[in-house]
Structure 1
Amino acid sequence: PEGVQTPFKGCHGRRISACRFFSSRVLSRSSDLRRWIQRGLVIYICFFKGADEDLVPKIVNVLLNVKLSEDENGEYVSVLDLPGNVLIIPQATLGGKLKGRKMQYHTNIEKEKGMELYSQFVSLCEKELAANPKCMEAGVLVKHGTYGNRQVLKLDTNGPYTHLVEF
């Protein structure tokens, strides 16, 4: 958006990191709620100032259809074609900018607006997986962390295999 400074050229309000994995779990420090999924995709997401609802469907479409996972034949397929689970983690630190010896987060969106966009993102991911016949048959899940809370995360990955995607 015009007049909005973003940390990287070409970034227009959203930064997403995605990695494939074999199992993952997240534990919120504010509760004993654990979210556990098997093979699939972990999405870390951060919204910058100027982000809006119009781009969320595009982000969901790209992330769920990008070919990052290997099937049993070693071919790269999307998480929808695998089919695999999705774990979504709100990750405000992706919006950090190094200034001297400290990180600053002045480009991150306001907490309330970020929570709205995050909720929309999670809901749309859930709808897309529920509408996919392969995912329905396999019983895949969308799990997500809690926006604005500190969380503990454990991943067992087949990699390192992490990608940064900016919209």
Structure 2
Amino acid sequence: MAIIEVVVPELSESVSEASLIEWKKKVGDRVSADEVLIEIETDKIVMEVPAPESGVLVSIQQGNGASVTGGQLLATIDTSAAASAEVSAPKQAAPQQPAPIQHAPAPQPTAPAAAAVAAAAETAAPSVKVMPSAAKMMANLGLNPADVVGSGKGGRITKEDVRNTHPQPAAKS
């Protein structure tokens, strides 16, 4: 069994953390090399993390909404599962229905911050979109999304909007 680790790509110098937006695959799903597994958002960009090799996604270490840093483990892929499927496939004469894949339940964020992020996002009016990083900041600062004016696409609330609403004291050098 060959296990490959999927890690957060190195972030730029000015970015210390990122938020996981959405997993595109679930545990047990087959993945192809370079297929998008998850979207990650920093305060500057949203990037896609591809599968480094083909195989079966065997574990997800961080759930949607989690904060991560560069190089942190996100998931593992079993590459030998894909190899055995490719070897046995040509031997079959008749096409068959794919077997249903049993999915393990998605890991639930356990950190109190994750719950606060979810609560901040849910308290927003249905028409107001809050970026995950902004929701986390609002939860940490105790702000209600109704108190922040969104300047992002379609009125989305960004980290910069939260900073403008609740300026932080200057960091000591």
**TM-score range relative to shorter protein:** under 0.3
TM-score (norm 2): 0.24
**Higher Cα radius of gyration:** 2
TM-score (norm 1): 0.25
**Bigger relative contact order (CA 8 A; separation at least 6):** 1
